[in-house]
Amino acid sequence: MEKIQTTVEPKNAEIKWENQPLILSVEQLAGLLEVGEHQIYNLARTKDFPARRFGRIIKISRDAFRQWMGEEINKPVEGGWQSESSALSIVRQTPG
């Protein structure tokens, strides 16, 4: 399997999180981030992503997602903090 890293940056980086529901569906989160639902489903399969499964339905806590984004984006590096704006980095494995 080949690992591919893609970076997805929402076109509208100014999301009004306080106006969003406390619990988001995959479709809602994909719409907010302006990414495909498939990317959110892939993230939901990862260990540290703040998603909960209820049968076939996946829900994401708005506040837990925001905290997860901050942990993934603002990492300490030598000489300060890494700045990646509001980009969402996703590592996927593709067959082949």
What does the alpha-carbon distance between residue 51 and residue 62 come to, in Å, rounded to a whole number?
A: 10
pLDDT exceeds 50 at position 21: yes
Overall average pLDDT of the 23-49 stretch: 93
**Mean model confidence pLDDT for the chain:** 74
- Local confidence band at 94 (pLDDT 50, 70, 90 cut-offs): very low
pLDDT exceeds 50 at position 93: no
Greater pLDDT, 23 or 72: 23
- pTM across the whole model: 0.60
Per residue, the 3-state secondary structure of 49-91, as one string, reads: CCEEEECCEEEEEHHHHHHHHHHHHCCEECCEECCCCCCEEEE
pLDDT exceeds 70 at position 33: yes
- For the chain, the structural domain boundaries read 2-94
